[in-house]
Amino acid sequence: MENTGGVRSATARAHSNIALAKYWGKRDAALNIPAVSSISVTLDGLSTDTTVRFDESLGTDEFRLDGRLVPADHAQSRRVVAVLELIRERAGLASRASVTSANNFPTGAGLASSASGFAALVVAASAAAGLDLSARELSILARRGSASAARSLFGGFVELHAGIADDGSDSFAEQLLDGEAWPLEVVVAITDSAVKAVSSTAGMQSTSATSPFYPAWIESSEDTVREMREAVLARDFRAVGELTEHSCLALHSLMLTTRPALIYWNAATVATIHAVRALRADGVPVYFTIDAGPQVKALCRPEDSQAVGDALAAVRGVRHAIRTGLGRAASLDVPPTDSFHSAPTAGTS
Ligand code: ADP
Ligand code: DP6
């Protein structure tokens, strides 16, 4: 951390995560409080590094993402500035900030860049602002940027509570199980790294307004989360896997019944689902999940991840497959890292 001549800066790293029990929909859009609780695993191989510099000489906040200055009126900058405002307010700080961030994987493509991005932002910005916040407080702040970011504050298996308080004070994430306590792996099959046409934020707003399945989703989600929590704590891989696929397909049913329909899958997404089911029929315990994007994430045991990676990399339309273990909590400790392209891959097709 640097603190000289009107400049205070800090750098943080946070890892992306993938929900096993999904969130979709808000109970308060202004405070970004999720309508349902969710459970995720943090992914070691996908990460964001963010440096925040509060600088008294700056007239305005500046946001650079992946080497590019994002215009101040762009939604991406406004989202970052909104979180900086919360931190400035808390710290009693007036300085504007320059934020420089890099994702080591494609942004806005269904790999949860908003999760690692806002988790890294709140850890770096609060440290640079001189705040000493608990993990729970950081998680609540990250949630204001993106709900899935609340989970990326923690490593391993993580639950985000929807909560019931109007001010969102009980909507925070906490760790269920350390990754080392149950070292599962995830194979990410990349089918298309283009930015999606409809962001998660816009997509879920449309779903809650138009899908006839939305009330059933709200009603059934807490049971799914409770069963998932029990399965994780019992380290019951089959139960976790079956619930993961169920939650994923329930989410995509909601998306398909939204007007206009949200179809995030492509042909390779569907082919990869079938490849996962074929592996399972051959006796390899592996389960798929898919977020708001065309990539497929396959949850498996470490001893199967090479075979799963090879099988998914060979699916027609899969560009490459990344194998990753479970990630650590977001932190100010930022060791040098491999880039996305040199992350452990399971081959290409
Ligand atoms: P994804 O599947 O990548 O999470 P979303 O549409 O949910 O896609 O989120 C992408 C948005 O998250 C970006 O448009 C941007 O607003 C924000 N974002 C992504 N990376 C970062 C980052 N490193 N720092 C701050 N915000 C980020
Ligand atoms: C399908 O957390 O990106 O990945 O809170 O509007 O930023 P905002 O949405 P975001 O949505 C994540 C949706 C999901 C499921 C999940 O991660 O739980």
Residues 20-36 pLDDT 10s: 999 999 999 999 999 99
The whole domain housing 32 covers 2-343
Q: Which residue has the higher pLDDT, 340 or 104?
A: 104
pLDDT of 176: 98
Q: Name residue 33's beta-bridge partners.
A: 28
The answer to whether residue 125 sits within a structural domain is yes
pLDDT of res. 117: 98
* Residue 347 backbone phi and psi in degrees, to 5: 100, 175
Q: What is the dihedral of CA 118, 121, 126, 128, to 10 degrees?
A: 180
pLDDT class of 110 with cuts at 50, 70, 90: confident
Give the ligand 1 atom nearest the CA of 114: 12
List, for residues 280-293, the tens digit of each pLDDT value. 999 999 999 999 99
Integer angstrom CA distances of residue 312 from 25, 327, 331:
31, 22, 32
pLDDT band at 109 (very low <50, low <70, confident <90, very high): confident
Q: What is the pLDDT of residue 337?
A: 64
How many domains, the chain? 1
Average pLDDT value over all residues in the chain: 94
Q: Is residue 79 part of a domain?
A: yes
Ligand 1 atom nearest to 48, measured from its CA: 23
Ligand 2 mean position, distance from CA 146 (Å):
7
* H runs (alpha helix) in 157-213: 200-210
Of all ligands present, the nearest one to the C-alpha of 289 is 2
Q: Identify the pLDDT of residue 6.
A: 81
Residues with a CB atom less than 6 Å from ligand 2: 19, 22-24, 32, 38, 112, 114, 146-148, 200-201, 291-292
Q: Give the bridge partners for 287, in sequence order.
A: 299
Average confidence (pLDDT) over 169-191 = 97
Reported pTM? 0.95
What is the rounded average pLDDT of the residues 45-63? Answer: 97
> What CATH number has the domain bearing residue 205?
3.30.230.10
The pLDDT, as a whole number, for residue 344 is 39
Residues in the chain: 349
Query: Is 59 domain-assigned?
Result: yes
Helix (H) or strand (E) segment spanning residue 2: strand 2-4
50 part of a folded domain: yes
Is 262 a member of any domain? yes
What is the DSSP code (8-state) at residue 109? Answer: S
- The answer to whether residue 348 sits within a structural domain is no
Average pLDDT over residues 298-305: 98
Q: What is the mean pLDDT of residues 219-245?
A: 98
Q: Which residue has its alpha carbon closest to ligand 2 atom 12?
A: 148
Residue 349 within any structural domain of the chain: no
Integer Cα distance of 168 and 190 in angstroms: 35
pLDDT score, position 2: 66
- Nearest alpha carbon, ligand 2 atom 3: 200
| b/e sequence 220-229, b meaning 16+ C-beta within 10 Å | ebeebbebbb
Distance from Cα 107 to the centre of ligand 1, integer Å: 6
Name the residue with higher pLDDT: 338 or 1.
Answer: 1
Name the closest-CA residue to atom 17, ligand 1: 114
Q: Which residues pair with 129 in a beta bridge?
A: none
Tell which residue, 68, 67, 77, has the closest CA to residue 97: 77
Q: Which residues pair with 190 in a beta bridge?
A: 320
Which band of pLDDT confidence, cut at 50, 70 and 90, is reported for residue 345?
Answer: very low
DSSP code of 32? T
What is the per-residue pLDDT for 1?
65
Residues with CB under 6 A from ligand 1: 48, 65, 76, 79-80, 101, 103, 107-114, 117-118, 121, 199-200, 292-293
Rounded distance between C-alpha atoms, residue 70 and residue 274, angstroms: 39
State mean pLDDT over 118-123.
98
